[in-house]
Amino acid sequence: MNRYTITVYRIGFGLLTLTALAFQLVYGLQHIANFAAANYFSFFTIESNLFATIVFFVGAMKVWRGEKSSAGFDMLRGAAVLYMTMTGIIYSLLLAGTDVQTPLPWVNAVLHYIFPVVVLVDWLVIPPAEKITWKQSLWWLVFPIAYLGYSLVRGSLTNWYPYPFLNVHQHGYANVLVNAVFVAAAFFAVSAVIALLPRVQHKLS
């Protein structure tokens, strides 16, 4: 795949996602009762999409300039792939039909279905320059763990939780902890798969 195609792919889908994020924010502020920007930006979906969009834009510029991808940037790419993949999986399995402040169908489709697939395809078509071990991929789990802590602390202060499975008032700390362990295990498993995928592809090619 030439650099023009890669650049257009990344910039195009990055702009689509950024537009969806901005449109939903403006729509929410104008049309959704009790909509709060602080809550909006406290959804993992929003944060992961923002992060992946930034990674896409930076990656597009690096490719357009002919710069080789670095190990550090590939780690950021891998993190974006993990977060977006888990965003799609968790939404599809646990949250479809739940109010996660993305009521507009096209926005919901972009953030939970389209961009997660786009980011994963980017990883498969343009693999990292150097192999990433499953041990290195453990660094990708730092943000989800920090997000869990942030959500629980903020929830205890504001009485608002971004997702039902994190709602301590509904389920209690014990059940929320069990939910968190299952989600963490899924993150761990998927992170290892994402790290190993390029190596498997290389062996099969």
| pLDDT, tens only, 110-127 | 999 999 999 999 999 999
Q: Mean pLDDT over residues 95-123, rounded? A: 91
Residue 181's nearest CA partner among 164, 166, 162, 169 is 166
- Strand, coil or helix: what is 60? helix
| CB-based contact 108:102 (threshold 8 Å) | yes
Look at residue 205 in the predicted model and tell me its pLDDT.
61
Using 50, 70 and 90 to split pLDDT, how confident is the model at 66? very high
User: What's the domain range around 40?
Assistant: 3-204
- What is the structure's pLDDT at 171? 95
DSSP 23: H
pLDDT tier at 99, thresholds 50, 70, 90: confident
- pTM, two decimals, is 0.95
Angle formed at CA 73 by CA 18 and CA 83, multiple of 5 degrees: 50
The total domain count for the chain is 1
- Would you state the pLDDT for residue 198? 86
- Tens of pLDDT, residues 141-192: 999 999 999 999 999 999 999 999 999 999 999 999 999 999 999 999 999 9
